[in-house]
Amino acid sequence: MIRRLAGAALALAMAPTIALAQDAPYGPLRPDQQTFLALYKTLVETNTEWSDGDCTVLATKIAGHLKAAGFPDSDVAVFSTPDHPKEGGVTAILHGTSPTAKPMLLLGHLDVVEAKRADWTRDPFTLINENGYFYGRGTSDMKVIDATWIDVLSRFKQAGYRPKRTIKLALTCGEETSQAFNGANYLALNHPELVQAAFALNEGGGGRTDGHGKLLTQTLQVGEKKYQDFRLETTNPGGHSSIPIKDNAIYELSDDLLKIRDYEFPLQMNETTRAYFAKTGAARGDALGQAMIALAKDPADKAAEAVVNTDRAYHSLLRTTCVATRLDGGHANNALPQRAGANINCRMFPGETTEATRAALLAAIGDPKATLTVSPPKEPTAVPPPLDPKVIGPAEKLVAKYFPGVPLIPGISTGASDGIYIEQIGVPVYGVPGFWSDPDGNGVHGLNERKSERAVFVGRDFLTELVKTYAEQE
């Protein structure tokens, strides 16, 4: 009876969506969707900025929600450390029935990028439904997924459903800023039993529209780049500015930065990016698409690479990238600079190490007087997960069911997530499809962040069924 009830609940979620504009208002909500909306609202309206927010407060609210759904105290825990009391997180576990099926992990971060009210058209910490979109900080990144994970476990518990696989939940703080205590890294290193799993589901995937309501693709993230900052610095004895010389720390830094600008890391491909370029190229059907297909077949095809490189996003997917993002220098307006420095932000192709990237930059600069140091924290190397058919297959079937004619394409992220910390203990992490965004990114990390109302409810139903499918695997 329990399994029939769960199946019936999922059947309600199977409304066709591809025939409707993906940014159109969703329509009357089912009772379970109204409950989900209230949860989503709570998450968005709880400020979790690093400067003046509080992840621990939100983690405590989530724990209360899970306990109200029937989880015992022993299966839900809020954690933080004394030196970071506002940067806590929450873990939970829904025990499975199979003694052989390994657990799965639902991963997410609770913190959000800073949002100044004066800059926003609407209050960033009030969930506002307007013209078919939910507005608010975190509506896309990534409280819509957090709310889904909480909702899935709550409904499973309330229905008395027990999956074959144990399902673990870890919602942590610290993903959006290097200054914060990173809860995912803390759990991986100090409490691996709470996050150890056969695989984890995380942010990073999702769909993309053409900006006019048509859904073009869905992506399953299979790997991500590693984020790492470096400090490039030049020094000089300085002196009086009335007697200038060419040996100037600022000039030297400028010359070194231009060399970094002009340095191109070599093209790299792995199993995932080959599949991504081949499938995306076929879906495009234009000259750029043909070049993508040719490059997937032969990464040494320089003519094809030149065409693909004209798209900045595709260019970045093919290699490690490093770029100057901040500058400082000098100590007085009337003195020659004694020191000048810059932050070099690198996104390393999966598998590339900090040491190898630093060595490549030093070789490109060719300046023995400059120093290039790793800025803390030093991130672990990004480990690309396999193209596992047990993960990809169910996602492909459900994408075909919910979004007929829309391809599911495996890909890597040029950004970074907390998945890198979970991968360091041997857990492959995948960014889920389901939700979708517009070409402008829906204001993620910027102003007036939003998520389509239809994307919220259809994506939530899609992920509910996807989690249940994985949970029933042996």
Tell me, yes or no, whether 209 and 259 share the same domain: no
**Burial profile 91-108: b = 16 or more Cβ within 10 angstroms, e = fewer:** bbbbebeeeebebbbbbb
- Asked whether residue 408 falls in the same domain as residue 362, the answer is no
**How long, in residues, is the chain?**
474
pLDDT (tens digit per residue) in 175-228 = 998 888 999 999 999 999 999 999 999 999 999 898 888 898 999 999 999 999
Determine what percent of the chain is predicted with pLDDT higher than 90: 86
pLDDT surpassing 60 at residue 13:
no
User: Residue 95 pLDDT > 60, yes or no?
Assistant: yes
- Domain extent, residue 153, equals 2-224+383-471
114 φψ region: left (φ > 0), alpha (ψ -120 to 50), beta (else): beta
pLDDT of residue 23: 65
d(CA 76, CA 401): 34
pLDDT at 9 over 50: no
Q: What is the average pLDDT value for the chain, to the nearest integer?
A: 93
Same domain? For 115 and 233 the reply is: no
The total number of structural domains that make up the chain: 2
Q: What percent of the chain has pLDDT over 70?
A: 95
Which tens digit of pLDDT belongs to each residue from 225-247? 999 999 999 999 999 999 999 99
State whether the Cα torsion 310-315-318-321 is positive or negative. Answer: positive
| CA neighbor of 428 nearest in space, from 414, 410, 441, 445 | 410
The mean pLDDT value for 236-261 works out to 96
| Prior bond of 124 cis (ω within 30°) | no
**Alpha-carbon span 358 to 351, nearest angstrom:** 14
Residue range 373-386, pLDDT digits in tens: 999 988 888 888 99
Instruction: Name the DSSP letter for residue 383.
Output: -
- Regarding whether 28 and 169 lie in a shared domain, the answer is yes
User: Do residue 66 and residue 116 come from a single domain?
Assistant: yes
pTM for this entry: 0.88
Q: How confident is the model at residue 5 (pLDDT cuts 50, 70, 90)?
A: very low
Specify the DSSP class assigned to residue 331.
Answer: S
CATH of the domain at 284: 3.30.70.360
Beta strands in 375-424 (DSSP E): 408-413
